[in-house]
Structure 1
Amino acid sequence: MVSVQELCRIVQSGFRPLSCDCTVNRDGTLRIKVYEPSTGRTSLLLPYVSPSRLTTVRDISNLIGELRTEMSAGRRAFAG
């Protein structure tokens, strides 16, 4: 089992070169915000992510991969 602190560290490192903040809400859920460091523009905001199914590094990696795919699809959908 991965600690919440380690989980957040892994999530934060998974979106480079973008910046990512992963914090724990009062109810124990996670708030994940991915943004462009130079402009502060938010690319992704998930206010309530349950850590209960993120128990292994593989689980966390899968989440990051899914979110990166969604972010990429969203950018293409709104491209010029």
Structure 2
Amino acid sequence: MIAITELNRIMASGFLPLSCDCSLNSDGSLRITVFEPSSGRVDLLLTRVSPQGLDSVRSIANLIGELRTEIKAGRRGFAAMG
């Protein structure tokens, strides 16, 4: 996996105008929150995403595409993914 700061930067740019925050859980999984910045409304919350395979801009872009599809489908959260 690439550095969490770089992951955050790429993810944030991929969800504009929404905001995205990625953080590492104690078990090494990722917590990803996509939200509307002015209201704080959470559009998607993933609490345990495997970072395996997130080692390039292309793989992260693919994840962003998948998550955008989930948001459009009206899904708001998952316990695990990947």
User: Same fold by TM-score, threshold 0.5 exceeded?
Assistant: yes
Unaligned runs of 5+ in 2: 76-82
Aligned length: 75
Query: Judging changes above 3 Å, is the alpha-carbon distance between structure 1 residues 4 and 37 closer, same or farther for their aligned structure 2 residues?
Result: closer
Give yes or no for contact 1:22–1:32 (8 Å, CA) kept in 2: yes
CA distance in 1, matches of 2:20, 2:3: 18
Equivalent position of 2:44 in the other structure:
44
Conserved? CA contact 2:4–2:22, under 8 Å:
no
- Scaled by the length of structure 2, what TM-score is found? 0.80
- Find the residue that maps to 2:22 and give its secondary structure: strand
Q: Which runs of 5+ in 1 are unaligned?
A: 76-80
Q: Runs of at least 4 residues of structure 1 off by over 6 A?
A: none
The one-letter amino acid of 2:5's match is Q
Give the structure 1 partner of residue 58 of structure 2. Answer: 58
Q: Please, what is the CA RMSD of the aligned residues?
A: 1.6
Using the aligned pairs only, state the percent identity: 64
Larger Rg: 1
Q: Structure 1-normalised TM-score?
A: 0.82
